[in-house]
Structure 1
Amino acid sequence: MDTLATPLAAAARPDRALTTLDLGIGGMTCAACVLRVEKALKKVPGVQDAVVNLATETARITCSPDTPDGTAQLRRAVRSAGYEPRAADALMREEDSSWAGFAPVALGAVFSLPLLLPMLLGWLSLGQGGEIGMLPAWAQFLLATPVQFILGARFYRGAWHAVKSRTGNMDLLVALGTSSGWGLSVWLWLNASSSPHAVAHTSMQPHLYFEASAVVITLVLLGKWLEARAKRQTTAAIRALHALRPELAHWLGSEQAPHEETDIPVGELLIGDRVAVRPGERVPADGVLLDGETQVDESMLTGEPLPVSKCPGATLTGGSVNGEGRIVVRVTATGSETVLARIIRLVEDAQAAKAPIQRLVDQVSAVFVPVVLVLALMTLVGWLWVGADVEAALMHAVTVLVIACPCALGLATPTALIAGAGVAARRGILIKDAQALELAHRVDTVAFDKTGTLTVGQPRLTALLVSPGQDERVLMQAAAALQSGSEHPLAKAVLQAAHDRGLAWSPPQAMQAVPGRGSQGEVEGVTWRIGSLRWMAELGAELGDLEPQATRLQSEGATLSVLAESVPGAGDVTSVVQVRALLAFGDEPKPGVAAALQRLRQRGLRLVMISGDNLGAAEAMARRLGLRPEAGEVLANVLPGDKAAQVRALREGQHVVAMVGDGVNDAPALAAADVGIAMGNGTDVAMHAAGITLMRGDPALVEAALDISRRTVRKIRQNLFWAFIYNVAGIPLAALGVLSPVVAGAAMALSSVSVMGNALLLRRWKGR
């Protein structure tokens, strides 16, 4: 699969459908190259937008799906601009060896060291005036020329394309600078050779600058090699996610057409197929556990370090690791529809995006190279004007050209974003776009949806209140028996509570469901009813001593059910319904939520819970969560459609608001917030309205997401500082003659390496 552009998605727009393509770009060297490629791509008919990422060497292109020969035109535009169109995942498929691509650097060092060594000996005062040991001019020429025109050919090609496009880039600066040094050396050598003294006395040969041109090219190649090596490290998160995909699956056919176990490529699996997963193997695709029990390691997908127990009926995510038992799984999603594929796509989208701060860098880069050329020319003229000879003036101008290469400027922002998004993904935090990552560190208000975000989101039996003289255990068994055949959420809560208490129950007889009210049946000869307060009132049952407690629980937002027994009546009344127990259902806080909210408050953040419950119920839950209703941290009686309006109100007064939600009805509020944070549950990766998705659905990850944003933005600022400071400090020093071309080349290479290395420090982030 060596396609050059891969369609990722069709962006749904009401007016026009657009297709997003990824295209690999080879040969880019600096921020100016990025701008030139973007400009070339945007000229292609049908292209709406193009964003080029120097760190990933890719372009994200948005275009019309009906553009004729769109992919071919995009490739041709890239090639016409002077770059190489490649597969979108070319960087991912590059050799992982630490020394891959080092051969040109090694050759450059072999040719350059003999030229540089006499200079180093002179600096160390081991020679006499630094002249003893200098190679003859012809030897310097033979060593420097292959470096200049063979190893340095890439710079000439890039410079030529830049000149044709009437733009400038790093290649142009390097080519001009080193060619000037090499050409000056040849001119000095040829002029000196006409002197009879030069033939008899090599010590009288003029000082040549072959070593400067050769060493600068070697240092630039070294810097580029170190950059490429660092790029492979920044994309380690994506590589790790791709590595989760197993190559083969143990296919068992479908449930309708079983087949003996056969190994087939994972790409041939169909929805409905059954596959066997042996202990220690990765689950080949998303599915449902049919047979067997096990524990599954989902740490690479959710960041959760502990294995998760799985029983028949449980969902499994492709890429997770099976534990101790052999299991059989029915496939429910394959290919690009699997959770893993969607995670990879989200991380790739974030890494391909351009952060808002990058726009400023682009504006600077657009004029940077022309300004440097003017400064170099001014340096040359200035030194000549003050009386310096042509040789010295040209060397100072060359130094300005070399030290001003904008490599680090183009890498400063994307490398930090890639590293930040990658390390966040390994912790179960998926960052959908760069803007969310850059903006999250400014959040001062965090709004939480209550149900499913701060709470479990499933009803639980919170109280069982029995009438005086009744046996709680017997009543619980009766309630569980009546609910044993129901799929209603409250019925499941009753069964779970009975199971937690270790109770067993007999199957009911003559079961009958009463729509909208409850159910009734016989358990060990006794007729029982369980249902709503309204149904009991219709049946004439009175709560009696349980009435005050029912009123209190309702005011706190609890959902009530009544368990009643039919007893023989007096006179003509055959039976009477008597209330035996009151069952209260409610949501429970997620484990660790109170501590997570407290940590956010300690960071100086304003916290708000948005709930559709009545005020009493919302405030009761808020206090359990550690929130303070008296401080305005609870917004109650909010309908799902009104959540977005509440978020917009919170944003008033220049507040930066993050909205945390888990459901589809939270999507408008997530979109209305400055930063939308969606709770994932391992089966539904992310809502498109959210910029950040927390795979574990753990509120503690909110703090981690804000922290990684803060650290990433800090790295971006540090990188931009270093990228600019090298130029701001280096260009004047070069123009004043303080630096030599060799030192300038080393500084230029060091600037790029330091920016990459600083971004890679984000990989040490551990989170909580």
Structure 2
Amino acid sequence: MTNEYGADRCLLDDSLLAPRSSATTRKRDSSPSPSHSSIGKSSNETKGPLQTAVISIKGMTCHACVNNIQDTMRSRPGIHLCKVSLDDAEGVVVFDPSLWTGMSVAESIDDMGFEAKLKYTQEGDHISIGTSPTRRKASISIKGMVCHACVNNIQDTVSKRDGIFSVVVSLEEEKGDVVFDPSILTAEQVVEAVDDMGFEAKLLSCEVAKNGGAILKSPKSQPKESSARFSSKTEMVEVSMGEPSENVEFGNENLEKCTLAVEGMTCASCVQYIERNIAKLRGVQSVVVALIAGKAEINYNPSLISVEKLIAEMTALGYRASLIDSPFSAFNKIHLTIGGLNGEADVNRIESHVISKTGVEGCNVSLATSLATVEFSPSVIGPRDLISVIESLGYTAELATRDDQMKRLDHSAEVRKWRTTFLVSLIFGVPVMLIMIVFHWILHTPMHPENQTPIISPALSLDNLLLLLLCTPVQVIGGRYFYVASWKALKHGTANMDVLIVLATTIAFTYSILVLLIALVLRWPSSPMTFFDVPPMLIVFISLGRMLEHKAKGKTSEALSRLMSLQAKEATLITMDNEGRVTSERGISIELVQRNDLIKVIPGAKVPVDGIVVNGQSSADESFITGESMPVVKKPGSVVIGGSVNQKGVLIIQATLVGQDSTLAQIVRLVEEAQTNKAPIQQMADRIAGYFVPCVIFLALLTLVAWIVIGYMSKKYEHMTPTGRFEGVMKVAFEAAITVLAIACPCSLGLATPTAVMVGTGIGATNGILIKGGEPLETVHKVTTVIFDKTGTITEGRPRVISVLTLRSPLDIPLKMLVLICGSAESQSEHPIGGAITAFAKQWLRDPTWAAVSRFHVSAGHGVSCQITGVRKSLDSITQVNGPVLSEGEEMVISDSSVIHKQVSCMPTLKMKREDDSY
């Protein structure tokens, strides 16, 4: 992509990178494409009934796209009719069901470079040629859009309302055209729907919509009957479909999506377990769980299941879940801490008064936590208004300090937990290792009882007693997190890595205690072989791995955390009188900023929210959004982006987009969604991990049985006593089985791909590259050619001087002195062009000593002014320059113009007054 400032940004989309399907390589019929006058005819003979598919097609920009789709599809065998509407962004295709399905038709159009999605198919061998119902088109002026994310948000949200046929929004024209059913909606309701999203919408005109092509109707408004009739005498074919049958291939019209924060996941088995169980719930269409991001995105039917039910089911599975975001909601949510609550009467009073206010969707006050959660429309009422309502009732209210988004990216608590477990296990594990070295490896006490040191009884040796005392704290304290997690998993009929660890340590610990008790009761002549060393050693290394794992997760989240930290924490709210004078000024939290607030932005400060400049002139660094290193001049009427840095001058802006509607918040949301989306290889890894643990347990049991059989069949233990032979065989068998349990960890399967995706998308976002998920990253290595839509050249992102042209000067200043003066003056400037001039002067004059600069002043959009002294002294230190000396009218080319760089030719206008050695 190329922005207006010449900077390059790259958006990797799976629709561009996905390999072409076989449909694109299918040979076309050798017969010529049918003409427009004969589209009702079909050269394809079919004996069975036809089917009609209604397909949503996005990405068409002109009628050439329409003709391309129609001509290509009509030329394919089995396609009897294809009619596409550019205004409605939909197409109607009549096809032979023995050769095509609705899905394959949509995929065929999608392979042509458009975003095609099957809405529904209609069976029947008769399709009537009807006329379109009366539809009206409302042209709406939409102010406040700053990027294409706003456009997509409006189109996606408004198109989901009943009675809406199509929505086309233009960012450049700040206008939208909405075709709707006047029997369901009015033009004013359409305008209100756009306005409720936080934009300034105004109705321009409303007229009867022209029927240009197929009549594309949503399934909810279709007539009950359908039949077919083709005519070869007319060029204009209008198709109307009846209501789709019960067997609909796609029914996404009523689906909504919610995002839940999920805590307690440890490996890919947890991911597979959650996805499998939540997907079984009635009303849930799909579930995608991201292990590292700690999120779950669920598409569900709100008429069958609620978000609260989903959270409850997630909690019942043993994980802590909370709602992060519901993108289909047009309301913002705020949390307020209430003071002065004494009983349920106060709760009911606050809730009733707040809900009665226009623009408030819901209010819930918790007496136990003194926390109020309010859903409201930011275009009607704001956070400060809500606080005023509560305070007018005699209570205190302030914004709750909640930063759930940053908290989810912070893994410090988990790191501390596993560090403590690791240290406790290490304190007891090191002595265990020393005892093993001395008693088992040097003295060989298990095989040589005469080397044992008996305590109380010969059946209890000193080494086994010490191992028991050291192992017990590790098993109880260090292993408690594993026991809790494994119990939750087993309670719901699944197994994860924690189950493997608990099995290995518990079996070893329990077996060792039992064999010691048996030896004491039966008064064995020597102390038996035990496995007390297994729990400390295993828990030490596993807890160390968990600690390093969460540190890695924290590192992968740093890029997104830095992106979120660009948001200002506070804003300076001002009020102005009719004459433009500031009457009051106070600092407020960024969450309390409302639409149409007047905000003051001082030099060097971050712009708090998206808005429009109403007073002042300055420049702003918007590189984090546009990738453009050049500051952008801001003057009254200019749009500013929240998170950009104000350079010079004070700005008064009017807030337009606040909270989750801001540009920065939408970028963060896009990056989070990209990190949640799974690459195909990750989905395969998650499926394998789901069966991994049961297979490992089965293999461990098989290993145990196999080595017991081998041990008793081996001649190695024939010379031993029955007790000694039993111990020898069980030692080898238990070591082999426990080793299988200990080393088989599915965590690497589930962590490798999401870690790579999270790092890639996060670093890309900080560098202006938005990557839409893991699939583009997985398929990008197949790309052999990248085409940049850029007028001119690919840029480096920083300007530099490429040529110098000398002109006549009334002061008759030598070129060397002129370059020294320019370099000295611009050395005080932070502007990129000033930096380019300084860098050129420094290189051309061979690193000179700059002249003294005073009275330096920057005027945004007009340059700099200053006083320079000591020019001749600095000039005397310059013996030679890197380049020829120019005469009047000559030009010196600094770099070859064929080199692909951002080339900025700057010819500064100098107004100088000479006073001795001062300029």
- TM-score, scaled to structure 2: 0.45
Report the CA distance shift for 1:324/1:207 in structure 2 as closer, same or farther (over 3 A).
farther
Q: Which has the higher contact order (CA 8 A, sep 6+)?
A: 1
2:470 matched to 1:143? yes
Residue deviations 1:337-384 (CA, integer Å, cap 9, x gap): 211011101000001111111122123223222221221112111111
Following superposition of structure 1 onto structure 2, how do residues 235-384 of structure 1 map, counting pairs within 5 Å?
A: 235-253=557-575, 259-305=583-629, 307-384=631-708
Following superposition of structure 1 onto structure 2, how do residues 487-526 of structure 1 map, counting pairs within 5 Å?
A: none
Which whole-Å CA distance do the structure 2 matches of 1:86 and 1:596 have between them? 49
* Equivalence for 1:184: 511
Report the CA distance shift for 1:307/1:454 in structure 2 as closer, same or farther (over 3 A).
closer
Report the CA distance between 1:307 and its aligned residue. Answer: 4.1
Q: Compare 15-24 and 168-177 and name the one that shifted more.
A: 15-24
Any idea what SS the aligned residue of 1:595 has?
coil
Any idea what SS the aligned residue of 2:513 has?
helix
Which whole-Å CA distance do the structure 1 matches of 2:741 and 2:267 have between them? 14
Contact 1:281 1:322 in 2 (8 A): yes
Which whole-Å CA distance do the structure 2 matches of 1:20 and 1:409 have between them? 27
One of 410, 424, 428 as aligned partner of 1:107? 424
Any idea what SS the aligned residue of 1:325 has?
coil
Which whole-Å CA distance do the structure 2 matches of 1:273 and 1:255 have between them? 14
Report the CA distance shift for 1:287/1:81 in structure 2 as closer, same or farther (over 3 A).
same
Residue deviations 1:643-696 (CA, integer Å, cap 9, x gap): xxxxxxxxxxxxxxxxxxxxxxxxxxxxxxxxxxxxxxxxxxxxxxxxxxxxxx
Report the CA distance between 1:76 and its aligned residue. Answer: 1.9
* Equivalence for 1:417: 757
* Equivalence for 1:393: 733
Following superposition of structure 1 onto structure 2, how do residues 281-680 of structure 1 map, counting pairs within 5 Å?
A: 281-305=605-629, 307-387=631-711, 389-447=729-787, 595=900
Whichever residue aligns with residue 285 of structure 1, its letter is: V
Contact 1:49 1:61 in 2 (8 A): yes
Which whole-Å CA distance do the structure 2 matches of 1:303 and 1:84 have between them? 39
Contact 2:439 2:463 in 1 (8 A): no
Report the CA distance between 1:271 and its aligned residue. Answer: 2.7
One of 62, 65, 82 as aligned partner of 2:299? 62
* Equivalence for 1:153: 480
Any idea what SS the aligned residue of 2:586 has?
strand
Which whole-Å CA distance do the structure 1 matches of 2:898 and 2:537 have between them? 59
Which whole-Å CA distance do the structure 2 matches of 1:171 and 1:98 have between them? 17
Residue deviations 1:599-658 (CA, integer Å, cap 9, x gap): xxxxxxxxxxxxxxxxxxxxxxxxx9xxxxxxxxxxxxxxxxxxxxxxxxxxxxxxxxxx
Contact 2:418 2:543 in 1 (8 A): no
* Equivalence for 2:275: 38
Any idea what SS the aligned residue of 1:260 has?
strand
Report the CA distance shift for 1:386/1:117 in structure 2 as closer, same or farther (over 3 A).
same
Residue deviations 1:233-291 (CA, integer Å, cap 9, x gap): 11112211221222211112378696411212222223322211122221100122333
Report the CA distance between 1:596 and its aligned residue. Answer: 8.2
Which whole-Å CA distance do the structure 1 matches of 2:294 and 2:679 have between them? 16
One of 492, 496, 500 as aligned partner of 1:169? 496
* Equivalence for 1:604: none
Report the CA distance shift for 1:66/1:282 in structure 2 as closer, same or farther (over 3 A).
farther
Any idea what SS the aligned residue of 2:474 has?
helix
Report the CA distance between 1:423 and its aligned residue. Answer: 0.4
Whichever residue aligns with residue 701 of structure 2, its letter is: L
Residues paired across the two proteins, number? 448
Contact 1:292 1:325 in 2 (8 A): yes
Which whole-Å CA distance do the structure 1 matches of 2:312 and 2:413 have between them? 29
Which whole-Å CA distance do the structure 1 matches of 2:530 and 2:505 have between them? 13
Which whole-Å CA distance do the structure 1 matches of 2:898 and 2:641 have between them? 26
Q: Compare 291-300 and 166-175 and name the one that shifted more.
A: 291-300
Whichever residue aligns with residue 263 of structure 2, its letter is: G
Whichever residue aligns with residue 439 of structure 1, its letter is: T
Residue deviations 1:145-179 (CA, integer Å, cap 9, x gap): 23223432332333334334443211121111111
Contact 1:174 1:405 in 2 (8 A): no
Structure 1 unaligned spans of 5+: 1-7, 199-203, 456-590, 598-623, 625-768
Residue deviations 1:383-442 (CA, integer Å, cap 9, x gap): 111116123202210110110120111111111100000000010011223222322232
Report the CA distance shift for 1:119/1:326 in structure 2 as closer, same or farther (over 3 A).
farther
Report the CA distance shift for 1:171/1:254 in structure 2 as closer, same or farther (over 3 A).
farther
Following superposition of structure 1 onto structure 2, how do residues 678-717 of structure 1 map, counting pairs within 5 Å?
A: none
Which whole-Å CA distance do the structure 2 matches of 1:71 and 1:592 have between them? 60
Which whole-Å CA distance do the structure 2 matches of 1:420 and 1:375 have between them? 37
One of 71, 77, 84 as aligned partner of 2:320? 84
Which whole-Å CA distance do the structure 2 matches of 1:48 and 1:594 have between them? 53
Contact 1:302 1:427 in 2 (8 A): no
Q: Compare 226-235 and 290-299 and name the one that shifted more.
A: 290-299
Report the CA distance between 1:324 and its aligned residue. Answer: 3.4
Report the CA distance between 1:321 and its aligned residue. Answer: 1.8
Contact 2:287 2:296 in 1 (8 A): yes
Residue deviations 1:484-541 (CA, integer Å, cap 9, x gap): xxxxxxxxxxxxxxxxxxxxxxxxxxxxxxxxxxxxxxxxxxxxxxxxxxxxxxxxxx
Residue deviations 1:183-232 (CA, integer Å, cap 9, x gap): 2211232233346677xxxxx53342212112212321221121112111
Contact 1:335 1:341 in 2 (8 A): yes
Which whole-Å CA distance do the structure 1 matches of 2:671 and 2:689 have between them? 27
Report the CA distance between 1:100 and its aligned residue. Answer: 6.3
* Equivalence for 1:636: none
User: RMSD between aligned alpha carbons?
Assistant: 3.4
Whichever residue aligns with residue 113 of structure 1, its letter is: V
Query: Greater helix share, 1 or 2?
Result: 1
* Equivalence for 2:542: 220
Q: Compare 90-99 and 242-251 and name the one that shifted more.
A: 90-99
- Percent of residue pairs bearing the same amino acid type: 36
Any idea what SS the aligned residue of 1:192 has?
helix
Which whole-Å CA distance do the structure 2 matches of 1:593 and 1:427 have between them? 27
- TM-score, scaled to structure 1: 0.53
Contact 2:567 2:642 in 1 (8 A): yes
Report the CA distance shift for 1:423/1:77 in structure 2 as closer, same or farther (over 3 A).
same
Report the CA distance shift for 1:110/1:304 in structure 2 as closer, same or farther (over 3 A).
farther
Contact 1:246 1:319 in 2 (8 A): yes
Q: Compare 32-41 and 151-160 and name the one that shifted more.
A: 151-160
* Equivalence for 2:436: 119
Contact 2:411 2:553 in 1 (8 A): no
Report the CA distance shift for 1:255/1:192 in structure 2 as closer, same or farther (over 3 A).
farther
Which whole-Å CA distance do the structure 2 matches of 1:592 and 1:172 have between them? 66
